[in-house]
Amino acid sequence: MNPSRDPATLPPEFTQRLERLFPPHIYERVLQSFSSPKTTTFRVNPLKTDASSLQKELESLGFEIEAVDWLPGAFRLLDPDQRRALTESGAFYEGRLYIQNLSSMLAPLILAPRPEEQVLDLAAAPGGKTLMMAGMMENRGWISAVEPVKERFHRLKRNIENAGAEIVHTYMKDGRSVGRACPAMFDRVLLDAPCSSEAKFSTLNPKSYAYWSPRKVKESQRLQKRLILSAWQSLRPGGRLLYSTCSFAPEENEAVVDHLLGKAPDAKLLPIELPIDNQMEGLVGWEKKRFAPELERARRVLPTEEMDGFFLALIEKSL
């Protein structure tokens, strides 16, 4: 095996945790996913064109693409050698398409924002999920997109302007303070939390996991716990919060949602129906810690050749 594709190059403590997390047959699939290049997937920007027109435009330029059957408006690029050309296409530069992993598209899909609603994206950069929500809302309503890091904030702003998402309003602000500043203001809140990004690790890019450690996981969890409480405070009664990460770590996923459930008696975890087979229920315990039984309603997306690992939990605030 080419050393650059060898899962053994991953941090041993990380792979040992995965082995405890997944059954053997799933563990092997997850481990191999770190050594495989992901299929490029993208979606139409309905604020600028429609799926049929985009498909015709790209196919006329020679792109080999295929519609994703379970997600209208999403496509996969069949020829990996065409990825660079796709990023140099007019459709890309002019905002008619957005390159995004299918797992990331699930978060807006499950949160399901509607036209005229007030929506908060609490950790928005680079803006893919924000823009997908703006399209779902038909550019009607209000989206507050929050990002504290200056460089990421400006990238977010450029992407939003390029996509024509007029209902998105950007704020360079620490998400931990938003709940106090905007209590009970939003119908729906998306918190795709900053995390250890374990699902983005690739043996083809050792830098992707060079700084991973259990300490990094715990640091991420501390931030996530504060962010989810801020998100909850900003949510109206009857509203819904979607919490997601691209980490496998239970400390960053079920444990964070469990923290909210322990602090908020008005929080109810809702069942999630995903249109994919590569999924498993949320955990109700990890190592010696037990979580609320309803955490099984959360969902873990298992990595495939075209999907990253992902965690999703949908929580409703009682009226």
Q: How confident is the model at residue 224 (pLDDT cuts 50, 70, 90)?
A: very high
pTM for this model (two decimals): 0.96
Binding site annotation covers 69? Answer: no
pLDDT tens per residue, range 116-168: 999 999 999 999 999 999 999 999 999 999 999 999 999 999 999 999 999 99
Residue 37: CA atoms inside 13 Å, Cβ hemisphere, count? 9
pLDDT at 72 over 70: yes
Query: Is it the case that residue 6 has pLDDT exceeding 80?
Result: no
The structural architecture, per CATH, of the domain 3-37+101-317 is 3-Layer(aba) Sandwich (3.40)
Element (H, E) at 171: strand 168-171
Question: Measuring CA to CA, how many Å separate 247 from each of 121, 252, 303?
Answer: 19, 7, 11
Q: For this structure, is 246 an active site residue?
A: yes
Radius of gyration of the chain (CA): 19
φ/ψ of 129, rounded to 5, equals: -70, -35
Q: Where are the domains of the chain?
A: 3-37+101-317, 39-100
- Flag whether 148 is marked binding: no
Percent of the chain residues topping a pLDDT of 90 = 97
pLDDT at 278: 97
Angle, nearest 10°, between helix axes 128-136 and 102-111? 40
Do 3-37+101-317 and 39-100 come out as alike in CATH topology?
no
Where residue 5 falls among pLDDT bands split at 50, 70, 90?
low
Give which of 195, 244, 199 is closest to 221, Cα–Cα: 195
Mean pLDDT of 284-294: 96
191 has a pLDDT exceeding 80 = yes
pLDDT at 1 over 80: no
| Active-site annotation holder among 47, 119, 182, 246 | 246
Fold category of 39-100 in CATH: Alpha-Beta Plaits (3.30.70)
Check whether 192 is labelled as a binding-site residue: yes
Residue 255 has pLDDT above 70, yes or no: yes
Write out 225-286 in H/E/C secondary structure. Answer: HHHHHHHHHHEEEEEEEEEEECCCCHHHCHHHHHHHHHHCCCEEEECCCCCCCCEEECCCEE
Whole-number pLDDT of residue 2: 47
> Token pair of 4, please?
């650059």
User: Is 37 part of any known ligand binding site?
Assistant: no
What is the Cβ-side half-sphere exposure of residue 177, based on CA atoms within 13 angstroms?
Answer: 6
Nearest to 291 by CA among 317, 318, 311: 311
Which tens digits make up the pLDDT trace of 111-129? 999 999 999 999 999 999 9
Question: Does 126 appear as a known binding residue?
Answer: yes
